Amino acid sequence: GWDDVTIDWATLYAKLALSLPRLPAGQARGQLLCRLAEVVREKLGDATLALRHLRGALDEGWIDAAGFELLTQTLAHTTLDAFSP
């Protein structure tokens, strides 16, 4: 299995991010932005950067279900926090 494979997530993220400018606008770029968001949030622990990538995916007109769920949860919490005493 893959359990014995060690992945350098920071390096993988950096290499994927370098390919972003070469992609045409639209779905392909949105898909990569969603993958970047997933890696940076789940493996590198940076929720803020993940949200920026997901906003970028929305700007490209494409977002996956997991990214959409994260954005809506974040928006719900932000909205609720604004009304808390």
pLDDT higher than 60, residue 1? no
- Residue 2: predicted pLDDT: 62
> Residue 64: which H helix or E strand, with range?
none
Q: What's the rounded Cα separation, in Å, for the pair 17 and 32?
A: 8
Per-residue pLDDT tens for 21-64? 999 999 999 999 999 999 999 999 999 999 999 999 999 999 99
3-class secondary structure per residue, 17-51 = HHHHHHCCCCHHHHHHHHHHHHHHHHCCCCHHHHH
d(CA 64, CA 84): 30
Q: Which residue would you say has higher pLDDT here, 75 or 56? A: 56
